[in-house]
């Protein structure tokens, strides 16, 4: 996959082309290219959850199902890079850091 094709896949993802579980109310989701600690190319996915999300909501299968849906979506687009997924509650995102 070329860089241009990969950028097009990220754009598609960031336009909301992925359907995620409705078990947690998602405020926004954004993906970008990333380099992991070993220097390997990867994907960084930030999932920003609704302000009313409680910490106990982030345990168990709810987050795992969202992570699996993200991995499956990228796999369906022939992207073999690993997506690192970070969950944040909207009111904990520093001002100016949230992706549009």
pTM reported for the whole predicted model? 0.81
Residue 97 has pLDDT above 60, yes or no: no
Of 8-22, 24-38, 75-89, the one with minimum mean pLDDT is 8-22
Q: What does the pLDDT read at residue 68?
A: 92
What are the structural domains of the chain? Answer: 3-92 (3.30.300)
The predicted-structure confidence for 46-79, as pLDDT tens digits, reads as follows 998 888 888 888 877 888 988 999 999 999 999 9
Q: Which two tokens stand for residue 32?
A: 């970008």
**Residues in contact with 46: Cβ distance below 8 Å, sequence separation at least 6, in sequence order:** 29, 30, 31, 86, 88, 99
């Amino acid at each position: 996959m070329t860089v241009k094709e990969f950028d097009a896949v990220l754009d598609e993802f960031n336009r909301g082309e992925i359907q995620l579980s409705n078990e947690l109310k998602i405020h926004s989701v954004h993906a970008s290219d990333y380099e992991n600690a070993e220097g390997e190319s990867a994907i960084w996915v930030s999932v920003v959850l609704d302000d009313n999300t409680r910490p106990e909501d982030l345990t168990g299968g709810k987050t795992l199902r969202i992570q699996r849906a993200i991995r499956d979506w990228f796999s369906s687009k022939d992207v073999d890079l690993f997506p690192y997924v970070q969950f944040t509650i909207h009111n904990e995102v520093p001002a100016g850091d949230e992706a549009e």
